Amino acid sequence: MDVQNRTAEKTIEVNAEAQLRLLIPTEIARISVIAANAMRVLSTCSNTSELLPAVQGLSDHISVWYDGLPQSAKVDELFHTPWDETRCTLSYVHMGHLGAITLIFRRTLSMYKHRSREQQNPTHPDERARLIAIFNDGIAAAKQASHILYLFLGEQAGIRHCWSVMYVLPSTLLS
């Protein structure tokens, strides 16, 4: 009976790992489309009254995508599971995910920074609360991206010449 239980556990573990490997290419494509859409939408916003509703929609889209991931594919799992080829590849998915959040943060910060002196401080409580949420999300995304880069470096996973460093590191340093 004990042998059957261990065999069943190994089969479940192998199946979950295989499903995760199959999921990764699809999720890379999905988050890349979301990030590209975020760039397109954010580039069309010319003032803060257009920006916040757009950011809300983009943030909701990213949240729906993230909530649809299985638990084994969540970003926190990267930090709590042994680093292997699957986790390394999954980290690229999250670099895109965290990059999209950082992009939203940077665009929002830039737009509010360049407002006129009279408009610098948001007066409406909902606007202030939304900005705080955007900034907190951006800072958390930058920290998580830095943590993933640290994992790459620790595993010597070829990160020095990787696109994700060029894409995320400047965002992280500026955040």
Dist. CA 92–CA 96, nearest whole Å: 6
Q: Is residue 16 part of a domain?
A: no
The whole-model pTM stands at 0.77
The number of distinct structural domains making up the chain is: 1
Q: Is residue 29 part of a domain?
A: yes
Exposed (0-12), middle (13-18) or buried (19+): which is 87, by Cβ within 10 Å? Answer: buried
Q: Is residue 6 part of a domain?
A: no
In total, the chain counts a number of residues equal to 175
Q: How many CA atoms lie within 13 A of 102 on its CB side?
A: 23
The one-letter amino acid code at 125 reads P
Q: Is residue 120 part of a domain?
A: yes
pLDDT tens digits, the chain, 175 residues: what are they?
Answer: 554 555 444 444 557 778 888 899 999 999 999 999 999 999 998 887 888 899 999 999 999 999 999 988 999 888 888 878 888 888 889 999 999 999 999 998 888 777 655 555 666 788 888 889 999 999 999 999 988 888 877 765 555 445 554 445 444 444 4
Question: Quick one: tokens of 94?
Answer: 């999250």
